[in-house]
Each structure stands twice: as C-alpha cells, then as structure tokens.
Amino acid sequence: MSEGANREVHPVVFVLDARGHPLDPCHPARARRLLAAGRAVVVRHTPFVIRLRDRVAADSAVHGVQVGINPGSKHTGLAVFADHGGSRTGLYSIQLDHRGGRIRDRLTARAALRRGRRSRNLRYRAPRFLNRTKPKGWLAPSLRHRVDTTLSQVARLTRWAPVTAVHVEKVSFDTHALSAGKPLEGVEYQQGTLAGYEVREYLLAKWRRACAYCGASGVPLNLDHIHPRSRGGSERVSNLALACIRCNQAKNATPIEDFLKRKPALLTKILKQAKAPLRDAAAVNTTRWALWQALKATGLPVAAASGGRTKWNRSRTGAAKSHTLDALHVGSLDTVTAWPSTVLVVKATGRGTYCRTRTDRYGFPRLRLPRIKHVKGFATGDLVRATVPTGKKAGVHTGRVAVRTTGSFNITTRHGTVQGIGHRHVRLLQRADGYGYTTHPEARHRAAFPPPPEGGGIHAGGI
C-alpha cells in the first residue's frame, strides 16, 4: 500500500427507496440536501436511515455493499464496506458490546438460589436429573446471546443496505494448521506470505499478549523456546512462549529451570501455562462456528477466514488494532483505501425485566414497581433529546431515558446521567429496541511497531 493511501472518512447514511427497499448508502452532505429539499424523510435516528420519496430500487443502479464480522467474547466488530476488486473502502463501523457476562452471572446466582431451596429440609421434592436433555447444537445462554445479537445486527444491516456478501472470522487461528497430525516446525511455517501468522495468533491468545517472564504488554514480543533448541528443545507450539526483547536476550540458551531458579512460582506457572489448553478461546471459536452456521442459513454468500489472516492484512495496511478495523480486514483483500472516522458503539441492554418488585438484602420485597411502563408517552430505554432552556440543567442532553411516574426523568448521556428533567423538555428520537447507542473515534494508524518481515522465522520480533 502506498504512503497515505488509507484515510478516514465520515460514516455514510443508509438510504431506502419509496417502498422501503435498500439503496446504496450516501454521504451525509447529500442526505442533508435531500432532507432539506423534501425529497427524503428520516426513518431512523441511530444508525441514521432516510427514505426517498421519489425513487424506487428498480430505477436506480445499486452496486451493493459487503459486511465484515470480527466475533469476540465481549465485543464484536462489524464493518460495512464497498469492494472494488480486492480494494475495500470502509463505509460504516459498528462495535457490538455483548452482555454475556451478566447473563452468566445471573444464571449462576439463580442456580445457587435453586440449589439452596432444594437442599433445605422444608418439603419433599422429587429428584429431577433425567429430564435435562439438550438438543443438538445447544449453546449456553451466554454464548447463544452473542450469536443472536450479532445475527440481529446483520439482519438490520441487510434491511438498511444492499448487502451482497458477508465475511466472518470462523476461527481465531487455524487449528488444523497447528495440529494436522504433526506440529508446525522449521521451514514449514516460515514459507509463504502468511509465514508464522497462525502460530503467532495462537500464542498471542494463549499468553494474553504479554511477556511470559516479566508480564510486559504493549511492547514488541518475540517467540521464545521455553526449552532451548540448542539443548534439545523441540519446535512444537507447546514449547513456544512470548518474551519481550529484554527477557529474550537475557534468557538466550539458558534452561528455564536455571533462568527462573529464584522465581519458583513463576517457573511453575509458565510450565503449567505451556501445557494448558485455551478454554476461553475454545468457547469463542464455538461461538464463531455457530455464528457462521446461522449466517449460512440466511442465504447470503458467507466467506470464512482466520484471525491470522486478518492480522496479516492489518500489518500490510498499517491499520491499528480494533474490533471494527479487524472486521474491515477479514478475508482476502489487496488494499484498504479508507475507513470511517467514528464508530457506533451498540451496547446490548435488554428490554427490561419481568420482575415487578425490588428486594432487600434478605430477599423480601421492599418496593413495588408500576406495571405500566409508559409514562407521558416515554418508556425506559428510549433515545431522547432534552432541551432545557434555563436552570442548573440548562442545555441539550441526548441519551437513554429512565422514566418516573412523576414525569421527572433521568437521561443517561455519554458524559453521565442528568437527573430530574421534566417531560415537557423531552423529545423522542427513537423507541427502545434493547440496545444503547454511543459513538467514539476510530483507532488511528499503527505507528508504534513495524510489521514483522515476510518469511520471518520464529525469532522475528514485533508480534
């Protein structure tokens, strides 16, 4: 890629025709002109979607867009881009924040309460352990949530834009390349344009992107042999660890038992970690597999790629590490000419709760919630804009609203929560849909560390 080839651009505006069919997205300036001329109306505030009054898809040349997905445990990146024969131009970026951790914690608490009730000597309860069969393809609720929310965002994008293909990371690293009957060793993973990237991606996930000996992160990391090759150490992936330049040079060919003889606890930890499987990575890989199957069921063309390939693409374009930029670099590509300057952060918040009481520390109800969720035409979770003319809260506040029966609402903005705003100052922008929306700037170009050289061996630094 030539110097200065990739640049930041404004996110596009999604466009629908008069019948609600998606058209190619347009620039925000063009959308403003269409709205000012009365040729378009606003359909949705976030993401911003307009509908043309005087045009249908049959009379327009629709080129289509593609979607890249970078699945993760806590965050999933989605990128809408235009593909020009291997050259991609980023149009829109979405970071989806999951709440799988909250679901797991609440299910754990519920299980603890149920075990407590069943173990108490209050009444006889027949044992139930033979009626817990799980269907084929079952996923834990915290994992199913990640698949469902990602699939929901893709379905929304297909309603707002003419999506022609989807690119998704099916695995974080190519496990087949790591364990296809024999380990990758020597020249076997030093050859080719993707030299060592699958191995490096595996080790980055296994050692959590930090030096195994001193714990330093955010610095160039080398691949180090735990048991040195000069002393009979193998080339197996289980004998590789990440080390910063200082620790790598200090250890050199010293046996790890001698190098860490004054730190027996760290020695035990490293030897244990070297043999430990990646349970968290396996869970994420399971989610990616289920997501890929769900995307295939939609009928869209779905292309799968590995995280090692994504990282190699980023090293060629000089892009920074982020969920959305990873989504833009998924799959086979030549260049990336531009990407959006801002990212829409979509946080899964849920649609409320069925519980109509609040309990104290002992579990007894202390407060009853109203059964009617709408107050003065607003419901908790709606996206609103409050314009307060005078007083301590004077100004314009945009965010999610929490309603009260008194008509005095709380609005949570990107800067914090503003309490006690009268409903007369509040205007509805978008009904609650189970998500919260904020924005943040996209990551800048990566300039701290240069990419490793092509064909570099296992001692190549700067992972």
pLDDT score for 188: 41
Name the pTM for this structure: 0.73
pLDDT score for 82: 95
Instruction: Give the contacts of 59 (CB within 8 A, at least 6 positions apart).
Output: none
Fold of 357-433: SH3 type barrels. (2.30.30)
Q: How far is CA 21 from CA 43, 132, 421, in A?
A: 12, 44, 38
Residue found by looking up tokens 């607003």 in the block = 378
> Which residues belong to CATH 2.30.30 in the chain?
357-433
Stretches where the chain sits below pLDDT 50 are 1-4, 177, 179-193, 195, 447-463
pLDDT score for 422: 93
pLDDT score for 125: 61
pLDDT score for 12: 95
Count of helices and strands (H, E) across the chain: 11, 24
**Rounded Cα distance, 432 and 38, in Å:** 27
Q: How large is the angle between the packed helices 307-317 and 197-206, nearest 10 degrees?
A: 110
Instruction: Give the contacts of 83 (CB within 8 A, at least 6 positions apart).
Output: 66, 165, 333
**Rounded Cα distance, 94 and 459, in Å:** 36
